[in-house]
Chains A and B, each alone.
Chain A
Amino acid sequence: MDSENLDISTILTEDRRHCRHLIDILQDIQAEEGYLSEKAMLQVAKFLDVPSSTIWGVATFYNQFRFTPPGRHPVRVCMGTACHLAGGQLVLEAMARELDLEIGGTTEGHEFSLERVACIGCCALAPVVTIGKEVYPRMTPPKVEEVLVEIEPGDAGRSLKARKQK
């Protein structure tokens, strides 16, 4: 996961030395390191022999790519139509409040990161939150705290308690 020591040579194979594989390559790098580091993108530019601005242009266009490391527990709040109508916005706000994070942010110790995502296709269970690979159906603001404490009893519990004491 450490971007400084990341070896992406297994991703940059000869058969992919063509611009049409750019998105594919970036997806693989992100799958490996969790985000796209500057170093990795420069390496890709060199590999494909294109200006680094082209890589940056493509990478920033697509929603999938992120440029900072995600938290160990990436929290994604679904903002699809069904979730929105069922109160997804309130769940997102509750998440932001409980984690003391802005949308797109990561907690200091990299435990949690918070993102809003477009529909993940579980509309029947709206509003939905995913944390890592786990899907949490029919969320409500009061449930948010329960879920977070369950995931990281230590850290989240501590920060919640600290906040409550304020």
Chain B
Amino acid sequence: MTYDEVYGQSRARWDSFYNSEIPHILIGTATCGRAAGSMAVLEAFKREIGREKIQAQLTEVGCMGLCSYEPLVIIIKQGDFTVCYHHVTPQAVPQLIQGYVLGDDPCLELALGTVAGGDTEAVYIPELERFNHEMRFLLRNCGYTSPLEIDHYIACGGYRGLEKALRMKPATIIRVVEKSGLRGRGGAGFCTAVKWRLCYEAKNKIKYVICNADEGDPGAFMDRVLLESDPHSVIEGMIIAGYAVSAREGYIYIREEYPLAIERLNTALSQAGRLGLLGNNILGSGFDFNIEIVKGAGAFVSGEETAMIAAIEGRRSWPEHRPPYPTESGLWDKPTLVNNVKTLAYIPLIVQHGGKWFVGTGTKESPGTALFALAGKLVNTGLAEVPMGTTLETLVFNIGGGIRDGKKLKGVQIGGPSGGCLPESLLDTPIDFDSLQEAGAIMGSGGVIVMDEDNCMVDTAKYFIDFSQKESCGKCTHCRIGTWQMLSILEGITRGNGSLTELGMLKELAEDIKAGSLCSLGKMSPNPVLTTLRYFKDEYEAHVLEKRCPARFCKELIAYYILPERCERGCDHCVLACPVEAIFSDEKGLKVVDQSKCTKCGSCELVCPVEYNAVIRLSPVSLVPENRRSKPEASSKEP
């Protein structure tokens, strides 16, 4: 089949779908939606529709990136507003059906907003402020088209880039990518065209393309959302990459922890194969390309390209010396192109619209958009795609909606275990590869974790070093033992056993690890410690000198204390919740925490009724009044 025939078919199906008289109900069933209960909502819709024999179509879609509003439901009605509903529960389903699917009441009390765009335009919700700051290239279809239907992708302009690419010479495609200035979105920001050219020029009949979907950063989930919501964009990018470097085989290396993404990719691959967009003689061009999925077995280091190659070959995932670079000698010693999911997903758009188009967005050195996963203490967690050069402030406040519960922002951790923690004063930092590096963080794969006043920066540094230590593959001594050494120093500090000399030692160790590790995951593992030492030194000093955790987070340095003046009613909530029976009543019936028994689980603070809010955390521990630290001898004799 030619592309025009394929497109014609898909377009007809899409039109009969989205432009039909029958109302359409779209339900976001990506992983985050499912965790929030979208499958129960889907079942409720199925039940209602079946029971009432309603003319309506149900479609599972991916994720719009509005995780904090999940489960999301979109109702499309011909000639009426397309409305998006948030926090939908199975109980709300009959109301939505009676109200909007069958009637004229758009159920505004459940609505998040109207939906605009779609088709060849990016989908957005005009009522939400965040969309004024976003620019959605990669997320253009996410949450609106079905990841299970290739027709949707094709009707919205999908595989048009491939069709165009197949009419171009490989060298011309690489020139287009070069013009676009696209930099790898895996973290380091290496120029994509340079990598492609090296692989293209490598002299070998057999070459490979690997899509790096081993999204290992804790707190990052952009690749997962993309693969669950719009898998064809990545597949199309891979085929174009294969054509450009003359490879005939591609591998998608994906985390085993992403079962839904794997399932949807498998569906997408077989659909593309059926339409002749994948396999032999793609679209009659004579070009053959096949893609195989390889499931990772859970090793952070596998995200490094040489380690990933080892994993695909069935070995321990150890990084290798570079050079030779994989573009010269990679998988089974053949030239291999390794690109991140997002990098590949940009390719169809760049080929379709040209390099110049891409340069029109973002900054001079970092063109295009950046896709971030926003998590932590934000009001609106989820995904955001913004033009490069957008400031962190816009990301946190305009898109993320600021900090939850009216708390104060303390810092932003960006780039995962290889990235850094930036303070509030650096919120005006533009997001691009170079500005972030200057500030000590990295773009990384795009995980942004926002911390408020309740988060301890020393503990955060400890958390990331703990992660890097556990995930160190062990090949290089400095990374293996250095991170362990840093971790034990940080553990000491969070317990109040640190010294100022050790702060200096942390810096020395960081330098050693940087110099003595082979791969960038090792080299960059001290970044969270270095940036917190740089921007939050006062917190380290408080831990060391005053045995005080300013955020009252570090367990060994805090005490739970019940304010007698607020604990007036003498209820027993805290007593019942305490798992170690550490709370007793004093002679007036007011509750007291026995510090010698308390394990600091925080249950008492959580269950204390809000109208009292009597349980507080004190740091240093010495702040607890002496007469309210333990059960007096006399009262312990009671039966």
Q: Which residues of A contact B602 (CB under 8 A)?
A: 87, 90, 140-141
Task: Name the contact of B451 in the complex, choosing from A61, A85, A124, A141 (C-beta under 8 A).
Answer: A85
Q: Which single member of A23, A97, A118, A123 contacts B311 (CB below 8 Å)?
A: A23
B501 to chain A, nearest CB (A): 28
Q: Are A27 and B297 in contact (CB under 8 A)?
A: yes
Q: Decide yes or no whether A42 CB sits under 8 A from chain B.
A: no
Would you give the 0/1 interface string for B485-509, flagging 1 where the beta carbon is closer than 8 Å to chain A? 0000000000000000000000000
Q: Does B375 contact A (CB under 8 A)?
A: yes
Given contacts A61-B317, A63-B299, A122-B35, contact A85 B579 (CB under 8 A): no
Q: Within 8 Å of chain A (Cβ to Cβ): is B312?
A: yes
Contacting chain A: which of B153-161, B217-225, B341-349? B217-225
Contacts of A21 in B (CB 8 A): 314
CA distance A101 to B540 in the complex (A): 33
Instruction: Write the chain A residue with the least CB distance to B331.
Output: A20
Evaluate contact between B219 and A80: CB separation under 8 angstroms.
Answer: yes
Q: Report how far A141 CA is from B295 CA in the complex, Å.
A: 34
Cβ–Cβ contact A126 & B314, under 8 A: no
Binds A, one of B52-60, B120-128, B376-384: B376-384
Which of chain B's residues has its CB closest to A125's CB?
A: B35
Q: Are B300 and A118 in contact (CB under 8 A)?
A: yes
Asked if B31 is at the interface (CB within 8 A of a chain A CB), the reply is yes
Q: A21-B314, A62-B317, A81-B463 are in contact. Are A119 and B219 (CB under 8 A)?
A: yes
Chain A residues near B313 (CB, 8 Å)?
Answer: 19-20
Closest chain A CB from B160 CB (angstroms): 31
Q: Which of B279-321 contact A (CB under 8 A)?
A: 294-300, 311-317
Quick check: A140 and B317 within 8 Å, CB to CB?
A: no
Residues of A within 8 A of B377 (CB): 85
CA A63 to CA B471, docked complex, whole Å: 9
The residue in B294, B298, B577 that gathers the most chain A C-beta atoms within 10 A of its C-beta is B298
Determine the residue in chain B with the shortest Cβ distance to A136: B35
Q: Which of A146-166 contact B (CB under 8 A)?
A: none
User: Which residues of chain A have C-beta atoms less than 8 A from B220's C-beta?
Assistant: 119
Query: Hey, which chain A residues are within 8 Å of B447, CB to CB?
Result: 81
Report the minimal beta-carbon distance from A76 to chain B, rounded to whole angstroms. 10
Chain A 14-27 interface 0/1 with B at a Cβ cutoff of 8 Å (1 = within): 00001111111011
Residue of B nearest to A121 (CB): B221
Q: Say whether B32 faces chain A, with CB atoms less than 8 Å apart.
A: yes
CB neighbours of A125 from chain B (8 A): 32, 35-36, 67
List the A side residues contacting B34 at CB < 8 Å.
135
A65 adjacent to B32 (CB under 8 Å): no
Number of contacts between A and B (CB, 8 Å)? 138
In the assembled complex, the Cα of A22 lies from the Cα of B449 at a distance in Å of: 36
Proximity string of chain B (370-394) to chain A, C-beta cutoff 8 Å, 1 when within and 0 when not: 0001011100011000000000000
Q: Is A142 an interface residue when CB atoms closer than 8 A count as contact? A: yes
Asked if B455 is an interface residue, CB under 8 A from chain A, the answer is: yes
Q: Mark A73-113, 1 if CB is under 8 A from B, else 0.
A: 00000011110110100100110011000000000000000
A118 contact set on B, CB distance < 8 A? 216, 218, 257, 298, 300, 467
Q: B329 in the interface, Cβ–Cβ < 8 Å?
A: no
A68 at the interface (CB under 8 A from B): no
Complex Cα distance, B314 from A84, in Å, reads: 32
Q: State whether A141 and B219 are in contact (beta carbons under 8 Å apart), knowing that A23-B297, A118-B300, A124-B68 are contacts in the complex.
A: no
User: How many angstroms from the CA of A104 to the CA of B395 in the assembled complex?
Assistant: 38
Beyond A87-B602, A126-B375, whether A79 also contacts B32 by CB under 8 A is no
Minimum Cβ distance to chain B for residue A90 (Å): 5
Q: Are B299 and A62 in contact (CB under 8 A)?
A: yes
**CA separation between A1 and B32, bound complex, in Å?**
31
Q: A27-B256, A126-B375 are in contact. Are A85 and B455 (CB under 8 A)?
A: yes
- In the complex, what residue of chain B is closest to A30 when comparing beta carbons? B297
* Contact-residue bracket for chain A: 35 or more
Give the residues in chain A near B563, CB-CB below 8 Å.
none
In contact, B375 and A81 (Cβ under 8 angstroms): yes
- A57-B316, A61-B316, A137-B36 in contact; A121/B224 too (CB < 8 A)? yes
CB of B449 within 8 A of CB of A82, answer yes
> Cβ of A137 and Cβ of B35 under 8 Å apart?
yes
Please, which residue of chain B has its CB at the minimum distance from the CB of A137? B35
CB distance from A26 to the nearest CB of B (A): 7
Q: Is A128 an interface residue (CB 8 A)?
A: yes
B11 to A: closest C-beta gap in Å = 34
- Contact check, B601 vs A141: say whether CB atoms are below 8 A apart: yes
A65 contacts across to B, CB distance below 8 A: 297
Residues of A within 8 A of B382 (CB): 124
User: Are A121 and B311 in contact, with the CB atoms below 8 A?
Assistant: no
Q: In the assembled complex, how far is the CB of residue B464 from the closest CB belonging to chain A, in whole angstroms?
A: 8
- Would A82 and B219 be within 8 Å (CB), given that A124-B67, A140-B606, A141-B602 are in contact? yes
Name the residue of chain A whose CB is nearest to the CB of B220: A119
Indicate if B366 sits at the interface (CB-CB under 8 A).
Answer: no
CB neighbours of A79 from chain B (8 A): 218
The distance from the CB of B258 to the nearest CB of chain A, in whole angstroms, is: 7
Q: Bound state CA distance, A163 and B382, in angstroms? A: 41
- B114 contacts the other chain (CB 8 A): no
A6 contacts chain B at the CB level, 8 A cutoff = no
Alpha-carbon separation in the docked complex, A93 to B602 (Å)? 11
Supposing A20-B312, A82-B376, A97-B579 touch, asked if A121 and B258 sit within 8 A by C-beta, the answer is yes
Cα–Cα, bound, A87→B605 (Å): 13
Interface centre among B294, B299, B602 (most CB of A within 10 A): B602
The answer to whether A123 touches B219 (Cβ under 8 A) is: yes
- A11 contacts chain B at the CB level, 8 A cutoff: no
Residue in chain A with minimal CB distance to B455:
A85
With an 8 A cutoff between CB atoms, is B328 at the interface?
A: no
A90 to B579, CA, bound (A): 12
Residue of A nearest to B315 (CB): A58
Q: Is residue B541 contacting chain A, with contact meaning CB distance below 8 A?
A: no
A87 CA to B459 CA, complexed, in Å = 12
By the criterion CB–CB under 8 Å, are B460 and A85 in contact?
yes
Question: Which B residues lie within 8 Å of A20 (CB)?
Answer: 312-314
B218 touches A62 (CB 8 A): no
Identity of the chain A residue whose Cβ is nearest the Cβ of B318 in the assembled complex: A61
Q: Once bound together, how far apart are the Cα atoms of A41 and B371, in whole Å?
A: 41
Kindly provide the distance from the CB of A9 to the nearest chain B CB, expressed in whole angstroms: 20
Pairwise interchain contact B601-A122, C-beta atoms closer than 8 A:
no
Q: Which residues of A contact B (CB under 8 A)?
A: 18-24, 26-27, 57-58, 61-65, 79-82, 84-85, 87, 90, 93-94, 97-98, 117-126, 128, 135, 137, 140-142
A-B contact pairs, 29 of them (CB 8 A): A19-B315, A23-B297, A24-B294, A58-B314, A58-B315, A58-B316, A61-B316, A63-B298, A79-B218, A81-B219, A82-B376, A82-B381, A85-B377, A93-B601, A94-B601, A97-B601, A98-B579, A119-B217, A121-B221, A122-B31, A122-B32, A123-B219, A123-B221, A123-B376, A124-B70, A141-B579, A141-B606, A142-B577, A142-B606
Which residues of B does A touch, CB under 8 Å? 31-32, 34-36, 67-68, 70, 216-221, 224, 256-258, 294-300, 311-317, 373, 375-377, 381-382, 413, 416, 447, 449, 451, 455, 460, 463-464, 467, 473, 577, 579, 599, 601-603, 606-607
Extra inter-chain contacts (12) besides given A61-B299, A140-B606, CB under 8 Å = A19-B315, A27-B297, A57-B316, A62-B299, A65-B297, A85-B377, A85-B460, A118-B257, A119-B217, A123-B219, A128-B35, A141-B602
